[in-house]
Structure formats: structure tokens, C-alpha cells
Chain A
């Protein structure tokens, strides 16, 4: 019977032939046993195209298979491998070692998320706030009950929100947000950007409902426009702009 390879045995297609190497510092922390985070250092070879995720997987394969890391697609689509790389929230699969210009690379779990273990964090709060803003088209009618098979949009109408539909729910924006760090009830830039995505959609009829949801004491008004969410977004979503545009609706500048 064929055996399924474990994660530690999983082979990578990258062959490390270069002599270049870096020191990879990985934060190790298990909330059930450890009182504080500690760093393990590993010497890892790399090519100019090697990503931080590939380096972490090399460590798992050759040095310490107990390193906990979440990943899946390896092409910045699934949003699983968000972590703090050299002090900045980034996707590990989308960050090349060569572009960091450092001989020491430190990887830590994302800020503002509870840690499961090492680099893996809990996403419950992100998904809860995401669901809270009703991230779907709300309409009374449906294409099943009408003669129209499509809800047509002009290119201009599409332009209003298309950028915001690129969100992959990686949580980097929430990790970078200074309000998320202090306000445990804050809805967060990810959910607010998604609220804007649907409010600005010409097919959607749930604007009033959605605006009411984010109009509370820990909603949209707690954003201080630090802009760090937009700085770290790997998909160019620009949640900070979405939040300001959403405020335009709430202040009556947009309808």
C-alpha cells in the first residue's frame, strides 16, 4: 500500500546549489508549555529565487521538523503563510530571501493573532469579523426568479470595487494595524475593506445594513489612518483607502 509522505518528508523542487547562505531565526513558542518566545537559528543555503517559505521548509526537512508553519499554495493565493519577516508582516511564499538584503532573517508569528504554535496563528477573529460585514451580494431578487441571467455592470461600476475583491484573507493588514493591537473588539482593516467592496458594488442592495454593522464604537471610526494595512497588503488591496471611502458614505459625501 502506498504511503502518504508526511510534511517533514515532503520534497521541494528547489535544488540548493549556491554557496550563498543566511541565518534563519525562527520564533519557537508553544503557549501550552512555554512562558516566552525563543529563537532557533539555522544556516540555510539559498538561490536568488528562494522564498522564505522554502527556507523554512528546508529547516523542517533537514534540521527541525517540529517547526509549526501554515502554508498551502506557495503562490500568494491562499493567504496561509502570513508571518512577520524581519519585522514586517509578509507572505513567506511571496518574499524572496534575496530581496530582504540581510544575512539574518527573523521569522515570527503575526502580531494581533493568538499563537497556536511557532509561526501558526488562529484566524477565528479575522473570519468572525469578515463574516460580520456580510461579505456577499445582498439582493431581494435573484437571477433564478427573473428573466435576466446576469447582473450587468459597466467597466466604471466594476472599477469602484475590483481592487478590493483581490483580498485573500491572509491577515497581514490586521497584523500591521495599530488599533488591532490595543482594541480587541475592533472590526479591523480586512473586514472594513470587504465591507467597502460590497457597498461599492452596484449589484448589491445591502448597503444600509452593512453600514449599520460597522457604525459602532469599535467599528470604522476607530481607524486612525496609520495606513500600515495598505503598506503590507501583498495583493494591493489598499484597505486604508477603502476605509476612507466607506467613511464618505457614512458622512454623506457618497451615496
Chain B
């Protein structure tokens, strides 16, 4: 993929994440901080599909943005054909693993496994 396309995705995910995280923070402000972290409150959030969907989107946006940022930092630290391939594929793999792990929690709650 061309670097300009990757960077457009990078900037786009940052802007979208800022908007959605703001919504997320505002939603949390509707209750007290400790109350919002209670077990039942969190389970209720995950069971409310529109909100769970938003959390899922935030997870995807931040994973893409964060791991691409990490890739850029690592590419600037050291150069070399093999190293750069390992860094690029490694970051994509870590990004997918984090999204899968985060999505698993939402799926488990909604399928009654928790």
C-alpha cells in the first residue's frame, strides 16, 4: 500500500477517534466515575448494542492509528529491508490481535457467555 494512503488512514482514524472518544467520555460523565466502573454497569454497556458498536469502532480506530504510529517510530529508529518488513507485518498482526481480543469481550457478553 502506498504511504500516502496509509497516512490518510492514519489521519482519518485520529479525527474519527477524537470525535467518538469525546462521545464516550461524555457518556461516562452521565454517572459518577466509580459507578461507571462497576461490573454491572460495564456489562450493561456491552449489552446495549449501539454503545457496544461505538466501543468496537473506537477499538478499531485506535488500534489502526496506534500501531501505525508505532510502525512509523520503529521505521525511523532503524532501517533495513528485513527489519522494515518484520516491523510492518508485526504491527499489522498486533493490530489484528488486539481488535480480535477486544471484540471477543463484546461478543462473549452478548452471547451470554459472561
Which chain A residues have a beta carbon within 8 Å of chain B's beta carbons?
Answer: 179, 182-186, 215-219, 221-222, 250-251
The total of chain B residues at the interface (CB under 8 A) is 11
Which chain B residues have a beta carbon within 8 Å of chain A's beta carbons?
Answer: 2-4, 7-8, 72, 75-77, 79, 84
Contact yes or no, A183 B79, CB < 8 A = yes
Contact yes or no, B2 A218, CB < 8 A = no
The smallest C-beta distance from B102 to any residue of chain A, in angstroms, reads 27
What DSSP secondary structure best describes chain B's contact surface?
A: helix
Contact yes or no, B76 A221, CB < 8 A = no
Which of A186, A217, A251 contacts B84, CB < 8 Å? A217
- Whether A222 touches B8, Cβ cut-off 8 Å, given contacts A215-B2, A217-B3, A217-B84, is no
Which of A215, A216, A219, A222 contacts B76, CB < 8 Å? A222
Taking CB atoms, residues of chain A closer than 8 Å to B4 are 215, 221, 250-251
Contact yes or no, B76 A183, CB < 8 A = yes
Q: How far is the CA of A222 from the CA of B3 in the complex (A)?
A: 10
Taking CB atoms, residues of chain A closer than 8 Å to B8 are 251
Taking CB atoms, residues of chain B closer than 8 Å to A216 are 3
Q: Nearest CB to that of A252 among chain B residues?
A: B8
Q: How far is the CA of A185 from the CA of B75 in the complex (A)?
A: 10
| With A217-B84, A222-B72 already in contact, 14 other A-B pairs whose C-beta atoms are closer than 8 Å | A179-B76, A182-B76, A183-B75, A183-B76, A184-B79, A185-B79, A215-B2, A221-B3, A221-B7, A221-B72, A222-B76, A250-B4, A251-B4, A251-B8
Among B2, B3, B7, chain A packs the most CB atoms within 10 A around the CB of B3
Among B4, B7, B75, chain A packs the most CB atoms within 10 A around the CB of B4
Q: List 21 A-B contacts (CB under 8 A).
A: A179-B76, A182-B76, A182-B77, A184-B79, A185-B79, A215-B2, A215-B3, A215-B4, A216-B3, A217-B3, A217-B84, A218-B79, A219-B3, A221-B3, A221-B4, A221-B7, A221-B72, A222-B75, A222-B76, A250-B4, A251-B4
Q: How far is the CA of A71 from the CA of B79 in the complex (A)?
A: 33
Taking CB atoms, residues of chain A closer than 8 Å to B84 are 217
The smallest C-beta distance from B91 to any residue of chain A, in angstroms, reads 12
The smallest C-beta distance from B89 to any residue of chain A, in angstroms, reads 13
Taking CB atoms, residues of chain B closer than 8 Å to A184 are 79
Taking CB atoms, residues of chain A closer than 8 Å to B77 are 182
The smallest C-beta distance from A211 to any residue of chain B, in angstroms, reads 8
Q: How far is the CA of A184 from the CA of B76 in the complex (A)?
A: 8
The smallest C-beta distance from A184 to any residue of chain B, in angstroms, reads 5
Q: Nearest CB to that of B77 among chain A residues?
A: A182
